[in-house]
Every structure is written in structure tokens, then in C-alpha cells.
Amino acid sequence: MMEYSVGVIGLGFVGLSHAVSLASAGYRVIGVDIDREKLGAIERGMPPFKEPGIDEVLRNTIGRSLIVSSRYEDLKEANIVFIAVNAPTTDKGQDLSQLESALDGLARAWRGLNDYRLVAIKSTVLPGTTRSLYKRFKMLSNMPRVGFASNPEFLREGRALEDIRNPSRVVIGGVDAESSEVLSGFWRDYYKRVGVDPPILVVEAEEAEMIKYASNVFLAMRVSFANTIARICEETPRCDALNVLYGAGLDPRIGVDYLKPGPGYGGSCLPKDTRALIHYADMHSIPVPLIRAVEETNRIQLERIIAILEEELGGIEGRVITILGAAFKAGTDDVRESRSIYLARELIRRGARVRLHDPLALDNARRLLGDIVEYHRDIDSALRSSDAVVIMTEWHHYKNIDWSKLKPGTLVVDYRRVTDPVSLEKMGIRVRAVGLSRKK
Ligand code: UGA
């Protein structure tokens, strides 16, 4: 087809990861974002978030194959534009205002152009949204030949570049056959350049949108399932949910991956997408007790941690409680919807003194929590004379802690299973670990 000139609107986690990946494969890429502070950082070669490998790829591409700008007009020459702005879930449903304003900006830049151009929506949106955004865009841009497609992404934080380069699948849902063809052609070209051959699935736009929800809600369901089995194991003599879930997961129909009990799923996607699909089902009067239960299970997982602390400490008020880990999972500085943040707030509400440690995410945590907790960059100082320690993120740093420094009788609540409870108990430390029965 055409010589590709790529645009990316929204230089957050998804957008910037795509922009640098495409630029380093040799495409000319223009990235547009309205946040000038973010643009300034990107121009200096500093990504606004932590992601393995991204610093180097950004430094190698910025100012060369990758240009960033705050002006939609700069997208005039681009013929394939990915939209990767947020579509948050609010009480009223999905908030499309960022998508609409990005598309309005692009429609102005492209207004009246006669040659074929394509818009690909990377943002997670409810079924039907891509098609209705297309109608609006066609009207505003007054373009006779514009393509439009849903092109959801499945990348994980902490592995974004790797997941773009080597995805489990590429899902393409054009609003018409030509859109799907052009977008598949582009991705085939990219994957040829990087030398991999992932499955490319061409479906209806609505199906592509639904695939993203089906995937994320299924993942959320696995976590809630693991946490349910963990809770039952905790009350069953000599049971460890890690062994039980591994034993179940060896059945290839189940699988051992993504079945680890913990403090509940967090992050910018699973909680938001689960809520959005419930909202969508409500709007269409579809009963979805399964998905509601996934969410409810996630909520009570946090209550469980608080109940353990109340029970073991004989009350939370006035206690010094150290939370190890603020990020919603290891390998990222992202604290969005992190269970840790919820836990910290609830413990403060109940009168505890809370200390928070994280190797990467303390600055982001401070933005959400302000001065209500103490921030510790050093693990030893975070642990010194604490009454209880709760492990909320599976950072490898927490595997090698010298627990013998804790005062005897200290409670360790290990919600990521990074400790060896037997050796801790030998040191006189009380341990409560997710999924591990205390009954003999
Ligand atoms: C998730 C999906 O995994 C990606 O495929 C998807 O593209 C992305 O959302 C998105 O929609 O953008 P991510 O939010 O980076 O990716 O995080 P996950 O690695 O999926 O973890 C989500 C949460 O579940 C974390 O809090 C994690 O700790 C928890 N989790 C995960 C468990 O408690 N146990 C597990 O076995 C796995």
C-alpha cells in the first residue's frame, strides 16, 4: 500500500510504548500529547513512567524517527494514526471526552483531505464506540475516504515493549473491509521488520472491542478465583493454596499462569474494565452475576487483610504498620488502583501510623496519599520497631530481608508469598500468609 507515516495521539504508557517501538522499526512517527510537561520530558529522552528498556529506545529515536508535538496540525502528513488516550470508567459509564477531543483535533488537521487515511483506536472502549466515533469523525473531517478500526492492545506494564514486539495476537476490527485490510497490512509490515509472525485476527469492530473486555475480565476472574481458593485453603488444615492452584493449573485446560493469590487485582486496566463491562451489561439489562462476584471478591480481599491485622494486633488504632510495596505489581512505578493505596487509607482511617516502602513508586504514592503516611526509601528504617508488616507488592527486594532485625512477636502479613513462613516463625515472628492454613 502506501508509504507509512505514523501518528500516535496520547503519549501515556500505551501510546509512548507504541511510538518508540514503531520509530525504532524505522517508521517516521509523530507523537502528539496536550501535556507540555510530559512532552518536555520525552524530548529530553526521559519517559514519564518506568518501563524496562524504554529509556534507551526513546533516546535512540527522539529527534530522529520520532518527533513529538502538542499540535494536532503536525499530524497533517500522517496517514495512519493510533489513538491511545484514556477512556476512564466513571459512575456514569465510560468517559469518552479525551477520545473525542483527540479525534476532533485530528479531524481539523485532516479536514477535507482526499487521500486514504486510517485511524486506529487503541484505547479500551465499550462495544459500538469505535463505530460511533467513526461516524462523528467522518462528519467533522469531511473526508470522503477515511478508514477507522478498533485495534486493542494486550500489553502488560513492565513488559510493554516485549509485548508489542512479540504479542500473543493482533486484533483488528475495521468498521469496513478496507480499514481492516489497511491496518492488517501495516501490522504485517511491522512484524516483518522485527522478524516475528504473530496471529493477526480480523474481526468486526464490535468484536475487537469485546475481545479486550473478555480478556481483561477473564484475567480478573482468574485472580478472584485464586483468591477464593486461597481463602478456603486458609481455613483448611495443612493446606497451601500455592500447591493447590499449581496442582489444578497443571491441567492444560486451566494453566498454571496468572493464578497467584494476592491482595486483589489493581492497576489501570482490570478494575476499570470489569466495572465498565458491568455498566454495559446493566445498560442492556443483562444479568452478569459472575462479573459482579469477581469485583466483590476483589473488594473483600482487602477487608480480609484488615481483619487479620485487627485480630492479630488486638486493634489497629495507635499501631505502627509498615506496608511493603505501593505499586500495583512488581516491576512498575504505577500506583493506580493499587490495593496498597486503599489499604494505607483504610489503616489511617482506623488510627494506625502507616509507613510505606517501595523501590520505585514512592513519588507516585505521595501524589495520591500526601502526608498521611511516612515514606521510607530504606527497608530497614521502614521496618524498625513496627508492630506489623504487610507485604503488598512482590518486589524481589522483599525476598532477602533480614527479618531477624524485627522485634520478636512482630506480625508479618505476607500477601504476595515472598517469605518463607517457617523460617520467620523460627525467629519468633508471627506470620499470616495469603492462602496458607495455620491449622494443623
Ligand atoms: C493487564 C493485562 O494483563 C494486559 O494483558 C492488558 O493489556 C492490560 O491489563 C491493559 O488492559 O492495558 P496490567 O494492568 O499491566 O495488564 O497488569 P497484570 O500483570 O495483568 O496484573 C493485574 C493485577 O492482577 C495486578 O495487581 C497483579 O498483581 C494481579 N495479579 C495478577 C494477581 O494478583 N495474581 C496473578 O496471578 C496475576
Burial class of residue 300 in the structure, from the number of CB atoms within 10 Å of its CB (0-12 exposed, 13-18 middle, 19+ buried) = middle
Cα angle 206, 207, 211; round to 5: 120
Per DSSP, the three-state class of 80 is strand
pLDDT in tens for each of the 440 residues of the chain?
579 999 999 999 999 999 999 999 999 999 999 999 999 999 999 999 889 999 999 999 999 999 999 999 999 999 999 999 999 988 888 999 999 999 999 999 999 999 999 999 999 999 999 999 999 999 999 999 999 999 999 999 999 999 999 999 999 999 999 999 999 999 999 999 999 999 999 999 999 999 999 999 999 999 999 999 999 999 999 999 999 999 999 999 999 999 999 999 999 999 999 999 999 999 999 999 999 999 999 999 999 999 999 999 999 999 999 999 999 999 999 999 999 999 999 999 999 999 999 999 999 999 999 999 999 999 999 999 999 999 999 999 999 999 988 988 999 999 999 999 999 999 999 999 999 998 77
Q: Whose alpha carbon is nearest atom 17 of ligand 1? A: 156
**Nearest Cα residue to 364 out of 393, 321, 400:** 393
Sign of CA dihedral 64, 65, 70, 75: positive
Q: Whose alpha carbon is nearest atom 16 of ligand 1? A: 156
Cα angle 167, 169, 171; round to 5: 125
* Ligand 1 pocket mutation pick from 14, 156, 337 by most atoms within 8 angstroms of CB: 156
Pairing between β-strand 388-391 and β-strand 170-174 as defined by DSSP bridges: unpaired
Pairing between β-strand 388-391 and β-strand 117-121 as defined by DSSP bridges: unpaired
Per DSSP, the three-state class of 18 is helix
Does the beta carbon of 221 sit less than 6 angstroms from any atom of ligand 1? no
Cα angle 122, 99, 286; round to 5: 75
Does the beta carbon of 15 sit less than 6 angstroms from any atom of ligand 1? no
With b meaning 16 or more CB within 10 Å and e meaning fewer, what string describes 322-348? bbbbbbbbbbbbbbbbbbbbbbbebbb
Catalytic site residue 239?
A: no
What pLDDT is recorded for position 426? 93
* C-alpha 413 – ligand 1 centre gap (Å): 22
Amino acid at 48: P
Q: Whose alpha carbon is nearest atom 9 of ligand 1? A: 269
What pLDDT is recorded for position 1? 53
Does the beta carbon of 134 sit less than 6 angstroms from any atom of ligand 1? no
| 44 half-sphere exposure, CB direction, 13 A CA radius | 7
What pLDDT is recorded for position 89? 86
Cα angle 77, 83, 84; round to 5: 135
Does the beta carbon of 301 sit less than 6 angstroms from any atom of ligand 1? no
* C-alpha 303 – ligand 1 centre gap (Å): 21
What pLDDT is recorded for position 208? 98
Does the beta carbon of 269 sit less than 6 angstroms from any atom of ligand 1? yes
Does the beta carbon of 328 sit less than 6 angstroms from any atom of ligand 1? yes
Rounded to an integer, what distance in angstroms lies between the CA atom of residue 231 and that of residue 311?
16
Does the beta carbon of 154 sit less than 6 angstroms from any atom of ligand 1? yes
Burial class of residue 69 in the structure, from the number of CB atoms within 10 Å of its CB (0-12 exposed, 13-18 middle, 19+ buried) = middle
For residue 219, give the C-alpha cell. 484475567
* C-alpha 233 – ligand 1 centre gap (Å): 23
- Within 193-245, strands assigned E span 200-204
Residue 261 CB contacts under 8 Å (≥ 6 apart), including other chains? 226, 227, 229, 230, 241, 242, 245, 417, 434, 435
Nearest atom in ligand 1 to 270's CA: 9
Q: Which of 259, 269, 413, 433 is catalytic?
A: 269
Does the beta carbon of 276 sit less than 6 angstroms from any atom of ligand 1? no
* C-alpha 381 – ligand 1 centre gap (Å): 30
How long is the chain?
Answer: 440
Q: Residue 309 in contact with residue 347, Cβ under 8 Å?
A: yes
Sign of CA dihedral 127, 128, 129, 131: positive
Query: Within 330-420, where are the H helices?
Result: 339-349, 362-369, 379-383
What pLDDT is recorded for position 50? 87
